[in-house]
Amino acid sequence: MFPFLFVVLLSLSWRINASALPVQEFLHCLSLRSQNSSIAKLVYTQNNSSYSSVLKSAAQNFRFTTPSTPTPLAIVTPLHAFHIQAAVYCCRKHGLQVRTRSGGHDFEGLSYTSAYEVPFVVIDLVNLRSVRVNVEKATAWVESGVTVDELYDEIARKSKTLAFPAGICPTLGVGGHLSGGGYGLLFRKYGLGADNVIDARLIDVKGRILDKKSMEEDLFWAIRGGGGGTFGIVLAWKLKLVAVPANVTVFTVRKTLEQNATKLVHRWQSIAHKFPKEMYPSIAIARVNSNEDEEKMTIQASFTSMFLGSIEELIPLMEEKFPELGLVKEDCLEMSWAESNLYTSLYILRSPSETLLNRNQKSSISKTFFKAKSDFVKQPIPEPAFEGLWSKFYEDEAKSASMLFVGFGGKMDEILETEYPYPHRAGNLYTILYTVDWEEKENINSEKFMSWMRRVYNYMTPYVSQSPREAYINYRDLDIGTNKINNSKRSYAKARVWGVKYFKNNFNRLAKVFGGLFRKYGLAADNVIDARFIDVKGRVLDRKSMGEDLFWAIRGGGGGSFGIVLAWKLKLVPVPANSIAHKFPKEIHSSIAISRVNSSEEKGKMTIQASYGICGLWRENGRDS
């Protein structure tokens, strides 16, 4: 959502004539900035033979690894925070966008490519891999480049009965994942990953390192679910660990249409959100060949669950709540919670049993060409609507499409919508993740698959959340809106259209936090009404001649990025001089400077002068002490 905004803060979208120069300047800046030369060994430019393998290493969606995809000028793989600080500084200085990558799972590739034609640098946190678990306090510090399975393994190594409630896919990067919420097997019991973050180390746009104490409360709120790549670069997270039994139970029961799949799915909708919190209920739906007739296609619904308890406890529970499924002991397996993630990540796969615990196995949306979307369901979908949906899965493009339904309720009903940026809480029966993927040789026809996905999404409109049609920020979907860098008012109005889909009413607060970053790093945009500016070609421009886009960008886009500002024309705000500063609207950054001066009233006498200022413009208001 905001990455474009953050990006503007860090940099510019201004084309500098000689495009070969920025990377040289950037490298030079880096070497100056990091007192010793160690950082040079962590930078891959397009000339480097490892460049493309490093770029692709964590790219999960191959749709963004084709020759036509914009690539970074350089990839920096920092080992320490000060490497990131140097990279952020030099990007700002030389007008390059920053893309931060942790695990590279962004559905739209935003951590390693750019939808806009602007020069950018990838800061890849692949080397920030430490996890420190404190068993007594049930906390852990984890760096952003750590994958969730590394996190779960390290916790399990220290304690068999501690866990962390985040996502399922083993290769997810903690950095992007927690930035957008993060749900998995424990979310009905303990909430999202982001709900369980108790501190963080963040590098802000100025390159400063902040933690919970030193950052503003709103910023700490925003980074826990407000979307990756927006508010700074999170170096590390402090997590509250949660209790799990040493063994949990998992099962998968598969039903085709011939085995009443439609009825079961229909029934599940009204049950899943009422299961005990200890249960993670999901259904993966895909088309398969019929058992009875290999020529014939059918729809298969795979009911996969994890239960925090034993098989003995689960069977009677299912008999009571969902007897139609006919779960038996033989369907169930007991294993550690960490292992159950690996088990569950296979439900999306076509052939699960033989590949259990094989980490090289791909899911349908990792290391492949794919498009995905999300929905939230608040009313059970009628059976005939499902039948219409199945027919879409018989189309050619859907040969390896799937849907994942995940039951809500439990802890999600107890957390207020405003407590964290992630707003999809009470009132949801379940969420849907739609995916379609294809092979390299089919990629010339990618539009075919994309439009299939859009047709399915349109078809579902009457049955899912409305006004707004909600979407999950971690399942980023550029179809629901993008922003081109454009004039600020229009951009805000445009961003709101899809901002409320991801964040509902929290979008306003996020926008304010973001606006706050602007105020901090530039003049309050609202108070700048004109400027005289020298552009890269040496022309002197004012608001009229520079155009609204550039005028928008220079008001907070970071000094040194766009050209040289000669003068600002400010709208002044009348302010009484007394102690009312705390009551000013947030838009006003006010301050008072105290100094000793000669009294204007009585020669030879000194007095104290208070000067108050707005946005650095000082006005005198001398007064005898």
Ligand X SMILES: *[C@@H]1O[C@H](CO)[C@@H](O)[C@H](O)[C@H]1NC(C)=O
Ligand Y SMILES: Cc1cc2nc3c(=O)[nH]c(=O)nc-3n(C[C@H](O)[C@H](O)[C@H](O)COP(=O)(O)OP(=O)(O)OC[C@H]3O[C@@H](n4cnc5c(N)ncnc54)[C@H](O)[C@@H]3O)c2cc1C
Residues in the chain: 625
The upper half-sphere exposure of residue 375, i.e. CA atoms within 13 Å in the direction of its Cβ, equals: 23
| Contacting residue, 549, 588, 589, 622, with ligand X by CB under 6 A | 549
Tokens of 416: 């207020």
Active site residues: 475
Helix (H, G, I), strand (E, B) or coil at 86: helix
45 binds ligand X (CB under 6 A): yes
247 binds ligand X (CB under 6 A): yes
161 binds ligand X (CB under 6 A): no
Residue written as tokens 């499902």?
386
474 binds ligand Y (CB under 6 A): yes
Least distance to ligand X, CB of residue 298, Å = 12
103 binds ligand Y (CB under 6 A): yes
Q: Would you tell me how many other CB atoms lie within 10 Å of the CB of residue 479? A: 14
43 binds ligand X (CB under 6 A): yes
Residues 194-233 that bind ligand Y (CB under 6 A): 228-229, 233
User: By CB under 6 A, which span of 46-54, 123-131, 391-399, 550-558 interacts with ligand X?
Assistant: 46-54
Least distance to ligand X, CB of residue 491, Å = 8
Least distance to ligand X, CB of residue 527, Å = 23
| Contacting residue, 78, 165, 175, 352, with ligand Y by CB under 6 A | 175
What string of DSSP letters covers 134-171? ETTTTEEEEETT-BHHHHHHHHHHH-TTEE----SSTT
Tokens of 443: 């990629």
| Contacting residue, 11, 13, 34, 60, with ligand Y by CB under 6 A | 60
Could you give the CA distance from residue 344 to residue 148 in angstroms, rounded to a whole number?
Answer: 14
Dihedral pair phi/psi, residue 367, rounded to 5°: 55, 50
User: By CB under 6 A, which span of 48-56, 61-69, 275-283, 360-368 interacts with ligand X?
Assistant: 48-56
Alpha helices in 461-522 (DSSP H): 488-503, 506-521
Interaction mask 79-108, ligand X, x per CB under 6 A: ------------------------------
Residues 121-140 that bind ligand Y (CB under 6 A): 125
Residue nearest to ligand Y (CB): 228
Could you give the CA distance from residue 435 to residue 238 in angstroms, rounded to a whole number?
Answer: 32
400 binds ligand X (CB under 6 A): no
Could you give the CA distance from residue 389 to residue 527 in angstroms, rounded to a whole number?
Answer: 52
Could you give the CA distance from residue 221 to residue 400 in angstroms, rounded to a whole number?
Answer: 38
582 binds ligand X (CB under 6 A): no
CB-nearer residue toward ligand Y: 176 or 557: 176
Whole-Å CA distances, 280 to 183, 187, 544, 564: 11, 8, 58, 56
Least distance to ligand Y, CB of residue 136, Å = 27
- 528's contact among ligand X, ligand Y, none, with CB below 5 to 8 A by partner kind, is none
Query: What letter would DSSP give residue 3?
Result: H
What string of DSSP letters covers 180-204? T----TTHHHH--TGGGEEEEEEE-
CB-nearer residue toward ligand Y: 60 or 561: 60
- 34's contact among ligand Y, ligand X, none, with CB below 5 to 8 A by partner kind, is ligand X
Residue 237 near residue 174 (C-beta atoms within 8 A): yes
Alpha helices in 247-288 (DSSP H): 261-271
Q: What is the bridge-based pairing of β-strands 120-124 and 97-101? A: parallel
Residue 318 near residue 250 (C-beta atoms within 8 A): no
Helix (H, G, I), strand (E, B) or coil at 70: coil
483 binds ligand Y (CB under 6 A): no
| Contacting residue, 9, 12, 23, 131, with ligand X by CB under 6 A | 23
484 binds ligand X (CB under 6 A): yes
Sheet with 564-570, edge to edge strand ranges: 540-541, 528-534, 564-570
User: By CB under 6 A, which span of 37-45, 113-121, 580-588, 612-620 interacts with ligand X?
Assistant: 37-45
260 binds ligand X (CB under 6 A): yes
Least distance to ligand Y, CB of residue 407, Å = 14
Helix (H, G, I), strand (E, B) or coil at 563: coil
Using CB under 6 A, list all residues that contact ligand Y: 3, 60, 99-107, 110-111, 125, 144, 167-169, 172-173, 175-177, 179-184, 228-229, 233-234, 363, 365-366, 474
Using CB under 6 A, list all residues that contact ligand X: 23-24, 34-36, 38, 41-45, 47-50, 246-247, 259-260, 334-335, 484, 486, 490, 549, 598, 604
